[in-house]
Every structure is written in C-alpha cells, then in structure tokens.
Chain A
C-alpha cells in the first residue's frame, strides 16, 4: 500500500489556479523531491497536504485514510510533520522548549493534572524532557539547548526546525526548502543529515528544494511543477535531460 497518496489535487484562489491535477505517491522510506521555478505552486501543494489549505478538488490519502480537509494539527497527529520555507521557530522560547512543544500533541495528562503536578504528569514531563534531550543530541544541538531559538545561527535554526518536527514522531516529513541560504559545504552536510534521519527514524521524506545539487544528490524520485502543472517526473537523470524541465528553468530560444 502507498504510504501517502495525493490524487488530482487542484487548488484555486478565486480565478487563479495555483495547483492543477497534482498527483503524488510516496512509498515508505523514499526521499522524493519537488522542484520548479518560483511561483510554480510547490508550497501550495505542500499546504494542501498538511491541511493549511483545503484542496478545491482532489483527495489526500494517508495509509488508506482520507485526510483531505482535516485541520493541520489533526494531520500532524496522524503522522505528517513539516518545516517552513521561512523558518518559523518559537523564537522567544529556548531550543529545549521548542522541541518540547513538538511532544505536546501526545500528552495524556489533563491540564489540571499538569497544574497540580500529579505523578502521572511528572512522569510524562520527565519522559518528554528525556526524549527531547536525546533528539537534540542526535541533531547536535544539545550544547545550545538553553539558548533562545531566535538567537541561533541560521543553519542551526534549520536543524532545530527539523528536530521540532521530528518530536511529533512523524511517518512522513515534509521539508520546505531546507537548504535555502546555505553554502555548498552546509548543503552537503544537510544532505547527509537528511539521509541520516531518514534511516534513524524510519521516515519518508518529501522535500521542496531549489538547490539542484541537493535534489539530484538525495532524491530517488523528482516531480517538477511549473505554473501549477506537473510537467515532468522521474529519476534525477530523467529530469536532468527532460527538455520541458530545461525550458521551464531556462526559457526557450526564440528567433528574434
């Protein structure tokens, strides 16, 4: 069975069709890339999967369950976590607290039990802190755990955002331009990092990325969007040689 399926998703904003007939299937363990020029509708497609937008038509199916139109928090609970293109950390909270927030959705104690610090809650809280510290160690942020998230350097903020998403214990991780603004060395480290977490956490990854070296380097399957339409998909080699893709990125030569 496919882990995630998006069937004929179309999203319209008034008269503008941002995404048209978008189809996607993810198998467990895959790393799939989504590329396309600016304004092609990549983030919109992401938002439709994660519930920020409700698709005008089409369906999103997670492990056979229809999740179209559910609220983002429900979808996250079912196992799809994401990061954002423009980093959206809780800047005034500490690194530790940011990741702890990611664990909150699995809490079983009631607010009253939490306020009264009943043993059941204390146990849960300690477990959360334990898990968070392990996670921070794994993404090598344990040395800055008490610093404000907003004060971290850019690369670490990116990693923290991924760590926070991992804290929700997802099956599928959606990364929106994780390598944006990174230099070649940092992108290379990021590629290693993404592969590493895929293996460590048994994840399936769907990512938007402009950085061709990264996309071609780690994605097994790539989709190309242009003006909301999927113009090509296939392996990195197929994409690299696809004339339509080259046209979308570089434009066509016309006789003057």
Chain B
C-alpha cells in the first residue's frame, strides 16, 4: 500500500519532469515565463499556507521575506561589472562588491537569510493572535521596503538592481516547487505537523499537552520565511530586475488570495489555485486592453484584472468559504474514489477525500 503510493508519486514526478523538459525546449519565452511564475507562486502560496492555513497564524509578511530573498540572491549572483554599472549614484559596499556565488548557493543563502529575519520578527510578535499578528507582520513587510529603499550602498535604494543573470529556468522553478511540496507534505504529516495543527485548533490545550508554543510557532514561521525567500530569489533571477516597490503589500495580497482560494490547510489546493490564478492573471490581460465589441468600444482600463480578482475573492468567501479544497487533499485514493463514483455499476459508496 505504502510502496504503491510512493511508486505513484514517483510516476507523477517523472511525468512532470518530462513535461518540464519538453516545455523548456519547445515552448516560446512567454509560455515559459508563465510556467515559471506558476511554480514560483506555488512555492509562495505553500509558504503562506504553512503559517495561515496549517498553524493558524495569520501572517502577511510574505512580500517582505521575498524581498530579503530576492536581494540576497541578486547581490550574490550579479557579476562585479554589472554591480559597478548599477551603483552609479553611490558606490556599493566593497565587501558586497566582490561577493559572487553560483545560483544554488545564492538560493540557499536567500532562504536562510529570510528565515533568520523571520525568526527575528517572529520571536517577539508570534505571541500575538489573529488580526494583531496580521498587522504586526504587515508592518514588517512595509518596513523592509523602506529599509531597502534607504540602504543605498547595499541595495542601490529606489533605483533597484538591473541586469541580474537570468538563472531561473523551468528546471529550477519546478524542481524547487516539487521539493517544497514533498517536504511540506512529510513535515506536516509528521509529529511536528500534528503539533502545529493542534496549536491551530486550540492553543491552550496544545500547550497543556506539553507543546512548546514559542518553538513550534517560530519553527513554522521561519520555514515559511525560508520558502518565501527562495521564491523571491527565483523571482529576482527570473525577472532580472528588482526594486523595493515590487515587494509591496499587493503581492502578499495576491498570494493570500491564492491560499484562500485553494483552501487554508490544503497543499494540493494551494498548488491548484496558484497555477490557475497565475495563468488567469495573464489570460485576463485582455480585459485591460481596448475591447471592441462591434457596437461599443470599451477603453482599456489598467488594473481591471485586479477588480475581477477582487470580485472572485468576494464570491469565494461568500459561496465557497473553505476554498476549492477546504482542508482536504487531492490524494490518489480520492481520485480513485471519484473515478469509481463515475462508474455507477460498481456502486462504490461516496467518500470524503482523505483528510490531511
């Protein structure tokens, strides 16, 4: 049974690998870009779901941690000549000037630094609950933006950094998204994951069961920051240009939307919604250009996409309170049962998908 499951997982990963290989070699740049964004957004959505969905800590710091990761990776991967060109207003800190590392090291450093920042933020604020925690983490995200705008010799301030090497390709983004998914699945199904869910369900009772709230909450928060940092690094080396305004609250809001839409506390839900939303975000660009309906011409309104997304969010909250998946996972058994259900002759009873 267990081996069977592992085998199926391996098969799915192989199919995904084949698809990624095919896409990287045959798709045009635009499609590859969108697929990369799908994978990066999946990582970010999972990162936010870990705190908000699984551990019951309402955090809004994603964009801040992304910024930390993005800048770390940028500084580590940019060759000195490019740095020289970027820092024409004021010279870069000479120690950082010489730094140069391969992408893998940059990614790990981005994650670790974001996790460290996550721990430093988390340690004092994680005793807050609900909206208070949300406000504190939101404040942190804004502060990071302000700091990065003003540390001219490190981040080049508001000018941003340009000409980052475009290391991010589908192998990196899908590989890391797959690793994140598998890692989170085993983590959340372990004793530590149960402890986090217990904290989400009832903090007082969890603590009375001997669960160290400080350790477990900070652990989840730091892992979430780690993943957001990696997401930010992948994003930076995909877009090749970063500046502090990229990592504003609106980005966190987008990711939060994906978490809620997919289902708070569902890994597969996050993957599905991150993929659908990223693709739709591009597909809906048409509503922002001038529409000619024959009898009437609607002028293009920039930002119209976000209006549509806001409407979707309202609809989801009203009609599909728990998102697409709720807290359920799309497991092999669930799929099998759904298939059985489609074949009435077999008369398989309807079952709920397995809970995580």
Contact = CB atoms under 8 A, between A and B. Distances in A.
Residue from A73, A76, A92 whose CB has the most chain B CB atoms within 10 Å? A73
A104 B209 contact: yes
A60 B337 CA distance: 55
Interface in B316-356: 327, 355
Contacts, number: 102
A191 interface: no
A93 B194 contact: yes
Given A52-B204, A115-B186, A105 B194 contact: no
A73 B210 contact: yes
Interface in B159-212: 183, 186-187, 190-192, 194-195, 197-198, 201-202, 204-212
A92 B202 CA distance: 10
B191 A91 contact: no
Interface in B251-298: none
A102 B207 CA distance: 10
A97 interface: yes
Given A90-B198, A93-B197, A114 B208 contact: no
Nearest to B202: A88
Contacts of A91: 201
Given A97-B194, A101-B198, A104-B211, A115 B206 contact: no
Nearest to B188: A115
B192 A168 contact: no
A245 interface: no
Given A71-B207, A76-B208, A90-B205, A114 B190 contact: yes
A77 interface: yes
Interface residues of A, number: 39
Contacts of B23: none
Contacts of B206: 90, 101
A98 B191 CA distance: 11
A158 interface: no
Interface string B119-133: 000000000000000
Contacts of B197: 90, 92-93, 97
Given A52-B204, A92-B201, A94-B355, A101 B190 contact: no
B136 interface: no
A136 interface: no
A127 B36 CA distance: 42
Contacts of A124: 191
Contacts of A117: 186, 190
A97 B206 CA distance: 12
Interface in A95-127: 97, 100-105, 107, 109, 111, 114-117, 121, 124-125
Nearest to A98: B198
Contacts of B211: 73, 101, 104-105
B215 to A, nearest CB: 9
Given A93-B198, A105-B211, A168-B209, A114 B192 contact: yes
A72 B219 contact: no
A237 to B, nearest CB: 34
Contacts of B194: 93, 97, 100-101, 104
A89 interface: yes
B36 to A, nearest CB: 26
B195 A73 contact: no
Question: Among the interface residues A71, A72, A76, which one has the most CB atoms of the partner chain B within 10 A?
Answer: A72
Contacts of A52: 204, 208
Contacts of B134: none
B207 A72 contact: yes
Interface string A187-213: 000000000000000000000000000
A91 B200 CA distance: 11
Contacts of A128: 191
A82 interface: yes
Given A76-B209, A94-B355, 15 more contacts: A50-B208, A73-B207, A73-B208, A82-B208, A90-B197, A90-B198, A90-B202, A93-B201, A105-B211, A107-B191, A111-B192, A111-B219, A114-B192, A115-B190, A125-B191
7 contacts: A72-B204, A73-B207, A88-B202, A91-B201, A104-B191, A109-B191, A111-B190
Interface of A: 50, 52, 71-73, 76-77, 81-82, 84, 88-94, 97, 100-105, 107, 109, 111, 114-117, 121, 124-125, 128, 164-165, 167-168
Q: Which 3 A-B pairs have the closest CB atoms?
A: A105-B210, A114-B190, A76-B210
